[in-house]
Structure 1
Amino acid sequence: MAEDIVEARGIEWVPASERHGRPSQLFTLWFSANLGMPALLVGVLGPVLGLSIGQTLWAVLLGNLLASTLLALVAQAGTGQGLAQLPLVRSVFGRLGNYVPSFLNTLSATGWYTINTAIGGEAVSRLLQWPLGWSLALLAAAQVALGYLGYGVIVRFERIMAAVQAVLFLLMTVIGWHLVAHLPAAHPASYGPFLLEVAAVASYSFSWAPYASDYGRYLPETTPPRHVFWATFTGSFAATLWVELLGAVAGAMGWGALSPVAMVSRWMGALTVWALLAIAFGTMTANAVNVYTATLSFLTLDIRVRRTHAAAALGVAGWILAWSANAHLLSDYENFLLLLSYWVAPWIGIVLVAKARGYISKDQALGAPRWRWPALWAFVAGLIAVVPFMSTTLFEGPIARILDNGDTGYYAGFLVAAVVYGWLSRPESRMAASRSAQG
């Protein structure tokens, strides 16, 4: 019985005889994973930056259209391949070259697991009236269990929680509707903060892109790619748009300096218990995905350990960090993770060009050479291109200063990496490199 519940595979290819499921599971997974406090806080950021509620709404809409499209395109690249995302793009970066994005994604996914656990632990502590340490341990145990059990349990869990979270956030929406009539007047800000909010919204959603194919690798080979695209797009877009709009209202009310738990307590009043449940469940839905993908990314480094053991180790490490860190350290850590996320845009640019040229496939991934230099050089070029356009609390580039602190680094990194990879990986270059490797 236990063998039927615990996923036996790590990052191995899934044969056709073991494929099952429907694309609709991708909708519920991405919808559920995004109904939580991290997305809400992205919406809060707009008014904190000085945007009017109208400007924030436009930023949320534009950022999510862009990011959900990119996430869905990357997910579509894995349709029918039977491999998780980072093992699949060995066909683009090479087996050893792929260690770079695999390590970065392990670090990023584990880091966000830690931040989310800290937020959710506070909600559980308030909900159960337990000490924070015990609350963090309970939450971490549930999340580690999901990561340990693996794909099948996570997909079922997200399907159930999509309905539960939708009801809880609908309750928050109904109760908070009266706040709209009491929003203070705000003068529109300049284009700089608007660009920064669009970047924040987009980066939150497309940071899931290195996870994209992890949750479709068991789908049948005959699954239409367009169904994967639309299920992923609508799940991500609907959830993030909804929750970030709620966050925009909370930010416009001047609650940006409050902790997430204090914010929803102010929002819900006597019904705060339901909002605390939404935070706790939202932490689990996001972190089930984070710990599972962190595990697959870790295994893509060719470290010989069972998937179940790696999931438990990474989950416990994130719990210990969340438990031992103070608020200031967690804030600094979150800023570091936001800085780290700039690598995703160049990676997406390279992957989408490779997808368009037919370079991404199971056969090429399983037989990948050690290095594929066009992708690696393009990745470096994209990272270098990001720097002048960055606008973060840790570093601000010269062009960002000219743009009134507006952040356009993600777009620069995406475009430069895509163009450089498109040039270096021209079909004739690819064929010559292939012949050289065979020789």
Structure 2
Amino acid sequence: MNIEKRSIDFIPEEERHGRAGSLFTIWFGGNMQVTTLVAGALSVVSGLNLFWSIIAIVLGNLVGAVFMASHSAQGPKLGIPQMIQSRAQFGIIGAVIPLIVAIFMYIGFFASSNVLGAQAISSSFSIPLSLSIVIMGILAFIVAVFGYDLIHAMERYFSILFAIVFLIVTIIAFKFSLPAGSWSLSQFNFKAFMLTVTVTATWQIAYAPYVADYSRYLPSKTSLKKTFWYTYAGTTIGTIWMMILGCVLTLAIPKFLDNSSAGLAKLFGPNFAFIIYIVVILGILAACVFNLYGAFMSITTTLEPFIKLKVTAKNRFWLVFVSAVIGVALALWGYGGFLNHFEDLISFLSYFLVPWTAINLIDYYFLRKGDYDIQDIFNINGRYGALNWVTIISYLIAVLIEIPFMKTSVYTGPIATFFGGVDVSWVVGLIIPVILYYYPSKKKMSLSTYNERLESNKSL
């Protein structure tokens, strides 16, 4: 398998390959990991019983995945990575604003995922944690350098392995006795329910900045519906399964979340515990690769308009290498406690991506209807310009309006406090751009079309 030649550039039709069905395995396998399991377990930790946890997990994922899969459907049509498409909305230079946020998130999530994977390596092979962090970084680096085809192939095989192993785990888990009232409809906690919906919906929306990166090589005639539904099915089935499993195990096994990897290993007994550790390592490796590959793409997109960067094989190697080194350094620095605070920062940064998601989808599906000039996306003097102030101002205002609705461990907004700590900022971040971006942009585009027709008539 060859190293990927393309990066942020357009994928010509003769290089397109694959089928929409491959998107199911990449997002199913990508979510079948211990991090997803732990995220789902937060619902029972926050006060929901199993019945209402399942309802909240299913609801949040089904809603959030609509936005995530809608981004994925853009890939075959445009043939370019997700974040570079932001230039059509923000301008060539203006797109650096959401790109910087995305880079921080990618590197941060890479570092935190690296630590989780390293813990499994350390427990399984009796290797010092610091060395395990370096090993996990090297593995992720190798896969990310090879790129698109290797990532797809890896997830295809991982999906089969994970499905088999976690089916066995699920059968074992549901044989445990659960606390009384686990299936009661009367034990409803609104605050915990909304928290779970928020966590699960934003879990899906967080994939938006790079989901189209894994569909951009598909032939341009690939059905939009197939691209959407294979992505949607893969991400929702994998995530919902793992999150519900996390709830069951947390309720059934005391202190399960203290070391979820070891807790899973105990289910298989000492003779087969090694299998679980390998599955955990591979699952987190996939997450690390996603984030490292995304960091490379976003850094390249950010640098390109300023230094006219051409991504040769050599440049690709060094850009991925530098990204990996920064992530590994953060992991080494932070595994003793820093990452707890760093993850809070990363979660806070995710609020900045929700308005970006809304703007991107409104522009693609309702304003331009998928009609973009790909050459001008790479041309600072083209129709999209350097800065689109309508978009930038709309985006920044939407972020500011989100703040009073936020609820994090480091900050709680006054409106969130008034409603008992319920965080609906992501809903606000999705709605506000409809008003602030859609109508001014539609008027601006109509005026531009009118002027073009006027100039055309004059020339005649």
Same fold per TM (> 0.5)? Answer: yes
Within 5 Å, which residues of 2 pair with 1:210-249? 210-249=209-248
Task: Please give the per-residue CA displacement for 1:137-174, whole angstroms capped at 9, x wherever unaligned.
Answer: 22211110011111111111111111112122122112
Q: Distance in 2 between matches of 1:431 and 1:369?
A: 17
CA contact (8 A) 2:141 2:292 kept: yes
Q: Which range is displaced more, 322-331 or 261-270? A: 261-270
Corresponding residue of 2:377: 365
Q: Which of the residues 19, 26, 29 maps onto 2:26? A: 29
Q: Distance in 2 between matches of 1:151 and 1:224?
A: 20
Task: Please give the per-residue CA displacement for 1:83-108, whole angstroms capped at 9, x wherever unaligned.
Answer: 00011221111111100111111110
Structure 1: stretches of 5+ with no match in the other structure: none
Q: Distance in 1 between matches of 2:208 and 2:324?
A: 21
Say whether residues 1:403 and 2:425 are aligned partners.
no
Q: Distance in 2 between matches of 1:250 and 1:398?
A: 35
Name the CA shift for 1:309/1:362 in 2 (closer, same or farther; >3 Å): farther
Give, as a single letter, the amino acid of the residue that structure 2 aligns with 1:7: E
1:260 Cα deviation after fit: 2.9
TM, length-normalised to structure 1: 0.93
Q: Which range is displaced more, 95-104 or 311-320? A: 311-320
Q: Distance in 1 between matches of 2:11 and 2:325?
A: 28
CA contact (8 A) 2:191 2:421 kept: yes
TM, length-normalised to structure 2: 0.89
Q: Which range is displaced more, 295-304 or 144-153? A: 295-304
Corresponding residue of 2:458: none
Q: Which of the residues 393, 402, 405 maps onto 1:386? A: 402
Structure number with larger C-alpha Rg: 2
Q: Distance in 1 between matches of 2:302 and 2:395?
A: 18
Q: Distance in 2 between matches of 1:111 and 1:362?
A: 33
Give, as a single letter, the amino acid of the residue that structure 2 aligns with 1:183: P
Q: Distance in 1 between matches of 2:328 and 2:450?
A: 48
1:265 Cα deviation after fit: 4.0
CA contact (8 A) 2:65 2:232 kept: yes
Report the identity percentage: 26
Aligned residues: 434
Q: Distance in 1 between matches of 2:42 and 2:140?
A: 27
CA contact (8 A) 1:193 1:405 kept: no
Q: Distance in 1 between matches of 2:211 and 2:373?
A: 16
Structure 2: stretches of 5+ with no match in the other structure: 456-460
Give, as a single letter, the amino acid of the residue that structure 1 aligns with 2:255: W
Cα RMSD over matched residues? Answer: 2.1
Task: Please give the per-residue CA displacement for 1:156-200, whole angstroms capped at 9, x wherever unaligned.
Answer: 111111111212212211221212x33344673531121111101
Corresponding residue of 1:307: 316
1:249 Cα deviation after fit: 1.1
CA contact (8 A) 1:91 1:359 kept: no
1:319 Cα deviation after fit: 1.4
Q: Which range is displaced more, 12-21 or 301-310? A: 301-310
Task: Please give the per-residue CA displacement for 1:57-80, whole angstroms capped at 9, x wherever unaligned.
Answer: 111000100111110111112332
CA contact (8 A) 1:81 1:362 kept: no
Q: Distance in 2 between matches of 1:348 and 1:286?
A: 21
Name the CA shift for 1:435/1:37 in 2 (closer, same or farther; >3 Å): farther
Within 5 Å, which residues of 2 pair with 1:76-155? 76-155=73-152
Within 5 Å, which residues of 2 pair with 1:41-80? 41-80=38-77
1:433 Cα deviation after fit: 5.7
1:327 Cα deviation after fit: 3.5
Corresponding residue of 2:249: 250
